[in-house]
């Protein structure tokens, strides 16, 4: 049963494209962007798209899974301290 719920590669690509479209729009309008604002924006867009029939429940679940993976602190990139100022 779980295999039937696993998104197909095409569904995952679609979710990535939707995520990037929403991120670009958010970058254009939100001056103070962070992980929380991205997450909240995508949640609002997803609920609206689902309510208006622009996205299927399966597409919404796939996008939510993608967001969990890319918006978790575990994927943060550690940057070395800037030693030029020292």
At residue 9 the predicted structure's pLDDT band, cuts being 50, 70 and 90, is very high
At residue 22 the predicted structure's pLDDT band, cuts being 50, 70 and 90, is confident
Q: Which domain holds residue 66?
A: 33-39+50-71
Q: What local confidence, expressed as pLDDT, does residue 3 receive?
A: 62
Domain count, the chain: 1
pLDDT in tens, 38-76: 888 888 988 898 899 988 888 888 888 888 888 887 655
Give CA–CA dist 15/40, Å, rounded.
16
Asked whether residue 27 is assigned to any structural domain, the reply reads no
pLDDT score of 29 more than 60: yes
Asked whether residue 56 is assigned to any structural domain, the reply reads yes
> Which pTM was predicted?
0.62
Is residue 20 classed exposed, middle or buried when 0-12, 13-18 and 19+ CB atoms within 10 A define those classes? exposed
């Amino acid at each position: 049963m779980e295999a039937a719920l696993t998104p197909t590669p095409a569904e995952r690509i679609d979710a990535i494209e939707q995520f990037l479209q929403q991120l670009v729009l958010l970058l254009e309008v939100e001056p103070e962007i962070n992980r929380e604002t991205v997450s909240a924006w995508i949640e609002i867009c997803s609920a609206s798209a689902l309510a208006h029939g622009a996205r299927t429940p399966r597409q919404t679940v796939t996008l939510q899974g993608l967001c969990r993976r890319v918006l978790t602190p575990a994927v943060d990139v550690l940057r070395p301290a800037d030693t030029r100022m020292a």
